[in-house]
Structure formats: C-alpha cells, structure tokens
Chains A and B, each alone.
Chain A
C-alpha cells in the first residue's frame, strides 16, 4: 500500500513539475542560464568585465538552500538595481542556479 501511495505521490509531483521541491521553482533552467550569463556573469566571472565586480559565481558556488536564501531577499543584493530582468526572469535564473547547486544531483561524466 505504501508503495502505491508513494507512486501516486510521484505521479502528482511530475504532473505539477515541482520535482525540485519548491513550487515557485518552475522556471525554465535553460532560459535561466541564458539570463544569468547575460545579466550576472559579466561581473561574476574570474576576470570581471563590468562594474560592480563581484566574486566568481556559478550554480555550484552555493548549495540549494543558500540559493534559496539569496533569492528570498533578492532586492538586498548590491547589484539588484543594475539588473534589467523582471519577476518571471528571476524565477528562471533561480531555477537554473538551484538545479545546478553544489548539492544538486550533479552527475559524474563517463570518460
């Protein structure tokens, strides 16, 4: 019976696309990647090309919980006012960073 319930739960989870655990994170990670690279990356790369220069950032620079914390209070970020992205776009970026976080299901590649 437990197995049945679990299977039913699994089906529900897929149906609503909240497999990553948070209902709000239903953005498109690929669009998020594109936006991240456009908006955030120029300042958050090894040799920053724009001001204000920040530390290197990629999805795996933080854990999932840490990314959630960042996006909970996103207006507090010093670079927030420089962004040109709306709420929807933010969700895409958050989804991208969350899915690739250090403790996400990051795979080893073969060979």
Chain B
C-alpha cells in the first residue's frame, strides 16, 4: 500500500460508494435507510452500539474465520476470528476488503432480462416473478426438446453451490462442471493415482520443502501461507523452483530459475539419486518399485541439468538434504495445476518423490483427510431413460473426473453439438468469460446456447453475455449450510454463516432462487427444508456442534491428524502407493511419468505464464480497496529481450497469441526467465459494469490458447506462445 494512501482512499471510498449505492438503491432499501442519514448529517445522529457477529470469509476458497462489526445496521469492519485455527487468526487484504464487496456500487440490484443482442448491454429490469417464470419456462423447454442433459450447470466456489448441484441432479442433467477443470484437477488426478487420496501438506512441522509449480505466498492458502513463515523460523529449509522470482522465491532459502515445463526432469533426477544411493527406506511398501528403478536409470542429474537448467550437483545435493530431513520433508502438493498438456504426469513425478520420502500420513509430510464428521444429506436423483448415456464431455480423456468433467471439452462439444446438443446454461458465480482460456471460443459456444441464466452479485463478463441475470446476495447477507474444512495439522473444522445484514437491494440467496425455480418445475419436494433443518441433518453425528459454531464461530473436530491409515490399505488399486500406476496401464497411458521436453517458443516468441497476486482471487477483482494495490495488470518481461525489442518499462504493448490479443503496460522484471512473460488474472473486463477493471489491462482468457491436460482434461494454461510489440 502506498504511503498513507489507504486511509484517505478508504474514507473516500465509503463516501463515494454510499452516494453511488444510494442513487441506485431505491428509497426503501436498507442501504439508503442505514447510510444516507449519517452520510449527510455526520454527528447529528447518535452513534449506535457496535455489535459483533461471527462469520467466515468468502473472498476466496479458504474461508477464514471472521467477525463482522456492525453499527447502525452497517458493516463497518471485518476482523479475523482469533478462534479460527485454520487461518491462524488472520484475514488477508482480500478478507478486509469484504466490506467493499457488499457495498460496491457495481452490485447487481434487480433481476434483468436481455433486450438487445448478447453483450450489447441492453437490459430490462423485471420482477422476480417474471424472471423466475421465464427462467423456468426456458429450462423446461430445453429439457423437453433436448432432454435435461441439454442444460449445463456451472456453480462457483460457494457454500451454496451444493444446492446448484442438487438442482442439476434433480432436474436430470449430467452436465455439471465448475472452475476445478481450470484449476486443481491435474494435481488431484496425480495424487489420487499415487496415494489414493489428495493430501494436504503439513507445512508447519516440516523440515524441508520443495515448492515447484506453486506460489503460496501470493496465491494464499491457509494455514499453509502463514505456516511457511513459522516453519522457516523453526529451521525448515525451503527450495523454490520457478521461472519467475515470485514472492515465494523471496522467502526461500534457495531459488532455482527452472526452464518452464521441465520440472518433471528435475523430479525424475531427484528420484534417480534417492533410489541409486539407496536413500529410500521402504520399496516393499510401494507398487512397481523394480519397474520404477529400471524406468529412471537414465534420468541422471547430468541429463536433467541439460533439460531444466538446474546444475547436476545441486540436484544431487538437494536429494541428499531432503532425504536426511525425511519423513519431515515434502514436495509441496500445491493447488492450481492447470499448466501443461502433461500436467498430471508432471504432478505424478512430484508425488512419486513424496513416496520416496515416506512422508505419507506423518508429521511434517503429507496428511490424509481428517474426520470432520459433517454429513451430506441424501436426496433422490431421478432416472430419466430418454437422457443420453453419459456426460457430453465423456470418452475424450481417460482420467476425466465424472462429477466435474472438463469445461474445455464441454465447450468443444457444445460448439460441435456432438455427441449431443447442449442448449442451456445455468451459471452461479462462475465467470468463464474471464477464467476460461480462449474467450473467443466461449463466445462462439454461446451461439449454440439458446438460454443462459447467470446468478451473481455483479455484472461479470459472463453475466454481461447472459439472457437473464439474477442478483444473488453476498456472503454477509446469507444463511449458509454447515461448511466443513480441512486445515492441515491445524484442524478439521466446520462453520456456518448467518446474515449480518439483510439482503441488499432486490438480491436473494441462491437457495431461495433454486427453490422458486423448483416450484415452477414440479421439483419443489426435493427442496422441502429450511436452512436450519438442512444444517441439523448435516451435524446429526456431531452433538452440540451447531451451538459451538454459533458461540465460537467455528467447530473443531479433535480427530486424528496422523496415522489415519495405520495398517489400512490405501485407496489405490494395489492398496499401496503406486509408483507404477495400474489404472494408467488399463487406460493405455504411461504407467510411470515419461519425460518429453516441452515445445519451445520461436526466437521471436515468449511463453505466457499466468497467476494471481495476494490481493485478487481470479476474476473477482472489481473491488475499490483492492484495485488500490494494482489498478491494471502489466506484462512482466526480462530486461534482455525487452532491450532487443526496444521496449521500456511502462510502454504500452500488445501481446498476441493464435487465440487473441490484449494491450497492457510492460513491466521490466529481472526475475523472470528470458523467454517467459507473465501477467495476472482478472483484468481486461468486457462488462462496463465492472467499472474498475473495464477495458483496463489485458485478460488472460483473451490471450491464452485452450490446450488441455491429456489425462484429465484440465485446462493447460502455460502452453501459449505470444508475440509482443509496442503500440502507441
């Protein structure tokens, strides 16, 4: 934050957002009643008592515990909940800016129906009744003509997304996807196929951590981000491999500027040294050890040096150091892994090193899921014989996750209308127009969508292209179901949200919207419960848990953290850790990771890599308190190629791939590899109602090509080569 600017700006923001919101809110809205008198008559009204209420953040997926401070009906401040061990009693900049999320003048206020062409921005304000009648009618019409699978459902990260899943199931569609196929599926595939489960890293108790393909100091993950600092204080060594000098590299003991896409070479060579020097204790606890030893015999550190650029002696030394620290050592599992066509196998090479560190289910290593004890209430899913046999994206990649599929493959299928047409789209809080690589293809896909309804709290780029836009309420206006969380060694926990303020404007909770639609479709019996009844079912095995959630803001289950498996077989086909994956053999793909060098950009091109800073969550950046940190994104480039291209810091450049282009300012960055350029997500909005980021900077969705992970269909976002030129 720049010198004292935040205080002044925040005061300014409050004034301006109050004024702007008041204009659009209507005289009866709580905002106007609550804020306007005070805004205009400061001091003339007695200051009400400040009340506090526990809640949980929703500015990203971590859901850190929060306390909302409210005065005169207005949320004044959000503070961390000191009881929340998962977040170590912290909220980050984004969490603090949650107030602006609620009171943003850009919030959607009423249901809207499109009047002009898609993306033209002509809307008609309609009543909820009209909006719901029309939405139900359109969805039923599509189901009638194309079967219920003719509608795609895409909920975002939200405690109420489970109700969208339910709605999708009882409506009868299989075509459900979410942001996961642009995020963490390659990691999940690799760990499931090695350990039978997706672990969390016990960062706090580790003595040696290699971080590759992950940037947890900026892409905040709780409690890990905080625990890295504490672990370091406790003597943990951190080694970072990254083509960029990231904030994570800045706290590391060692940073190696690895060539992009070559991480597998490093990990295979690390495995080679560990195996050759007999530093692995337990070959008999793995499946396919002998095949693996044979497989990696030529993957020497000297070979890897030529591929990844990290000196052979460093690879050998790191192998020795990390095995000396094992089992309190790990290759950090990370999260987003939507990078390369081979991302699953790259992740497998990391997971395999974790096998060789024998760190599974042990302190300082990888942790299995702890018991939280929250149940998932059951519901009936109808069988609809006229539906097609499978998802629209089935049968293209071998390791598709059946319940989330792949947005990339679904989009192709919708464009081709094969294997069958999908003509409707029900979206809640997803913004694929900003997060899905190759935006032009998403726009093309819309040509085959007859009806697109979007529930969100702002007119995102996706909402801007919708036919109906329904204003959802924010996390601070909501009753939410019980939400269970894994917090590494810190906790296994659960929380609820109860409304801190009333629904603003004409916004409504997602569950209310779904119930109303269900009524119009004869599906209401599936949603015949109140939120409290639903919660009671969720905690039926946890006596008193809801009271604890209300009293402390969070419930902890004192479940076992380590040794959860103790003698039980792992959930792999062999029941033990799979170096050689049997299922891959059945699927006809390489059972062990085979290195092939990445495609390289031509001399006049760069590889585009993307990420997010600590103050934005993907495309959710239209927040005045947060854009103070960064008003528009920049293109990071090493000074050497910049000099060759005659480019200087601050120049406006055009970055172009075969998918599209964008304009943004150049930022000279000595810490980035020479043929790599980097930019952050979320900018270059198409929707003028995202007023802070409209036409500012460039959108990753516009520039990135849409390659995919060949095993699980995850988007591959680091396979794009771009040209960069100066523009005036």
Interface of A toward B, CB cutoff 8 Å: 3, 6-7, 9-10, 12-14, 17, 19-21, 28-31, 33-35, 37, 63-64, 99, 102-103, 105-111
The docked-state distance in angstroms from the alpha carbon of A33 to that of B174 is 13
29 interchain pairs, CB-CB under 8 A: A7-B588, A10-B588, A10-B589, A12-B588, A13-B398, A13-B586, A13-B587, A14-B395, A19-B398, A20-B586, A21-B583, A21-B586, A33-B383, A34-B381, A34-B383, A37-B380, A63-B569, A103-B196, A103-B572, A103-B575, A105-B193, A105-B401, A107-B185, A107-B404, A108-B192, A110-B178, A110-B183, A111-B61, A111-B161
Contact of A28 among B63, B381, B389, B402 (CB under 8 A): B389
- Complex CA gap A105/B571 in Å reads 9
Q: Is the CB of A106 within 8 A of B588?
A: no
Asked if B383 and A30 make an inter-chain contact with CB atoms under 8 angstroms apart, the answer reads yes
- A103–B589 touching, CB < 8 Å: no
Tell me if B398 and A111 are in contact (CB < 8 A).
no
Find chain B residues with CB under 8 A from A20 CB: 586
Complex alpha-carbon distance, A96 and B157, angstroms: 27
With the chains together, A7 CA to B174 CA distance in Å? Answer: 28
Q: Which of A14, A33, A103 neighbours the largest number of chain B CB atoms within 10 Å of its CB? A: A103
Answer whether A105 and B590 are a contact pair too, CB < 8 Å, given A19-B398, A34-B381. Answer: no
B180 at the interface (CB under 8 A from A): yes
Residue pair B401, A13 in contact (C-beta under 8 Å): no
A14: chain B residues at CB < 8 Å are: 395, 398
B402 A99 Cβ-Cβ under 8 A: yes
> Closest residue to A35 on the B side, CB-wise?
B383
> Which positions 171-195 of chain B face chain A at CB distance < 8 Å?
174, 178-180, 183-185, 188-189, 192-193
Most buried by B among A34, A102, A109: A109
Known: A10-B587, A108-B198, A110-B180. A33 touches B61 (CB 8 A): no
Q: List the A side residues contacting B413 at CB < 8 Å.
A: none
Q: For the complex, is B646 an interface residue (Cβ under 8 Å from A)?
A: no
The reply on B684 being an interface residue by CB < 8 A is no
Inter-chain contacts of B46 with A (CB < 8 A) = none
Q: Are A19 and B586 in contact (CB under 8 A)?
A: yes
Chain B residues, Cβ within 8 Å of A34: 381-383
Known: A6-B590, A19-B587, A103-B572. A108 touches B188 (CB 8 A): yes
A111 close to B588 (CB less than 8 A): no
Contacts of B380 in A (CB 8 A): 37
**Chain A residue contacts of B404, Cβ below 8 A:** 107, 109
A10 / chain B contacts, CB cutoff of 8 Å: 398, 587-589
Interface assignment of B573: CB less than 8 Å from any CB of chain A:
yes
Q: Is A6 touching B588 in the complex (CB atoms < 8 A)?
A: yes
A65 CB, min distance to chain B CBs, angstroms: 8
List 14 extra interface pairs beyond A14-B398, A33-B383, A105-B193, CB under 8 A.
Answer: A3-B590, A6-B588, A6-B590, A10-B589, A12-B588, A30-B381, A34-B383, A35-B383, A63-B575, A105-B189, A105-B399, A110-B178, A110-B184, A111-B157
- Assess the A107–B571 pair: CB atoms within 8 A: no
For residue B403, CB closer than 8 A to chain A, the reply is yes
Question: Which residue in chain A gives the minimum CB-CB distance to B584?
Answer: A6
Bound state CA distance, A1 and B381, in angstroms? Answer: 46
Shortest distance from the beta carbon of B310 to any chain A beta carbon, whole Å:
26
Question: Is there an interface contact between A105 and B583, defined as CB atoms closer than 8 Å?
Answer: yes
Distance from B446 Cβ to chain A, minimum over Cβ atoms (Å): 25
Task: Tell me the bound Cα distance from A88 to B585 in angstroms.
Answer: 28
Q: Which residues of chain A are within 8 angstroms of B572 by Cβ–Cβ distance?
A: 103
Q: In the complex, which residues of chain B have a beta carbon less than 8 angstroms from the beta carbon of A110?
A: 61, 157, 178-180, 183-184
4 pairs of A and B residues whose beta carbons are closest in the complex: A9-B588, A34-B383, A10-B588, A108-B198
Partner of A102, one of B180, B198, B571: B571
Closest to A32 in B: B383
In the complex, chain B residues 660-683 whose Cβ is within 8 Å of any chain A Cβ: none
Chain B residues contacting A17 (CB-CB under 8 Å) are 395
Residues on the A chain within 8 Å of B382, using CB: 34
Does B571 lie within 8 Å of A103, measured CB to CB? yes
**CA–CA, A13 to B395, complex, Å?**
10
**Are A105 and B157 in contact (CB-based, < 8 A)?**
no
Counting chain B CB atoms within 10 Å of each CB, which of A7, A10, A28, A110 scores highest?
Answer: A110
Which residues of chain B from 566 to 584 have any CB-CB distance to chain A below 8 Å in the complex? 569-573, 575, 583
Could you say which residues of chain B place their CB within 8 Å of the CB of A28?
389
Inter-subunit contact A105/B180 (CB<8 Å)? no
Shortest Cβ distance from A21 into B: residue:
B586
Q: How far is the CB of A47 from chain B (nearest CB, A)?
A: 11
Q: Which residues of A contact B157 (CB under 8 A)?
A: 110-111
Contact flag A64-B180 (CB < 8 Å), given A30-B383, A34-B381, A99-B402: no
Nearest CB in chain B to that of A28: its residue: B389
* 8 Å CB contact of A109 from B180, B192, B583: B180
Interface residues of B in 51-89 (CB under 8 A from A): 61, 63
Distance between A73 CB and nearest chain B CB, rounded to angstroms = 22
Give chain A nearest CB distance to B335 CB in angstroms. Answer: 8
Residues of A within 8 A of B401 (CB): 105, 107
Interchain CB contact (< 8 A) of B188 among A7, A31, A63, A107: A107
Closest to A13 in B: B588
Within 8 A of A (CB), among B440-485: none
Measured between beta carbons, the chain A residues less than 8 angstroms from B398 are: 10, 13-14, 19
Query: In the assembled complex, how far is the CB of residue A36 from the closest CB belonging to chain B, in whole angstroms?
Result: 11
Q: Which residues of B contact A103 (CB under 8 A)?
A: 196, 569-573, 575
A-chain residues with CB within 8 Å of residue B188 when the two chains form the complex = 107-108
Task: Compute how far the CA of A9 lies from the CA of B584 in the bound complex, rounded to whole angstroms.
Answer: 12
The minimal Cβ–Cβ distance linking A79 to chain B, given in whole angstroms, is: 20
Chain B residues lying within 8 Å of A106, measured Cβ to Cβ, are 192, 571
**Distance A14 CA – B409 CA, assembled complex (angstroms):** 15
The distance from the CB of B442 to the nearest CB of chain A, in whole angstroms, is 20
CB distance from B590 to the nearest CB of A (A): 7
- Closest-by-CB residue of B relative to A58 is B378
A19 to B587, CA, bound (A): 6
Bound form: Cα–Cα A28–B384 in Å: 12
Alpha-carbon distance A6/B381, docked complex (angstroms): 37
B529 to chain A, nearest CB (A): 18
Q: Which residues of A contact B196 (CB under 8 A)?
A: 103
A-contacting residues, B392-431, CB 8 Å: 395, 398-399, 401-404
A13 to B589, CA, bound (A): 11
CB-based nearest B residue for A64: B573
CA distance A12 to B587 in the complex (A): 10
Kindly state the separation between the CA atoms of A102 and B61 in the bound complex, as whole angstroms: 26
Of B189, B197, B589, B590, chain A has the most CB atoms within 10 Å of the CB of B589
Q: In angstroms, how far is the closest chain A Cβ from the Cβ of B671?
A: 30
Bound CA span A19–B394, Å: 11
Query: With the chains together, A19 CA to B588 CA distance in Å?
Result: 9
Kindly state the separation between the CA atoms of A10 and B589 in the bound complex, as whole angstroms: 7
Chain A residue contacts of B399, Cβ below 8 A = 105
Q: Which of A3, A7, A31 is close to B383, meaning CB atoms less than 8 Å apart?
A: A31
| Complex Cα spacing A31 to B382, Å | 9
A18, closest chain B residue (CB): B586
Residues of A within 8 A of B575 (CB): 63, 103
CB neighbours (8 Å) of A35 from chain B are 383
Q: Please judge, given known A-B contacts A7-B588, A10-B398, whether A107 and B174 are in contact too, CB under 8 Å.
A: no
Query: Taking CB as reference atom, which chain A residue is nearest B586?
Result: A21
Q: How distant is the Cα of A102 from the Cα of B369 in the complex, in angstroms?
A: 14
| Assembled-state Cα–Cα distance A110/B185 (Å) | 9
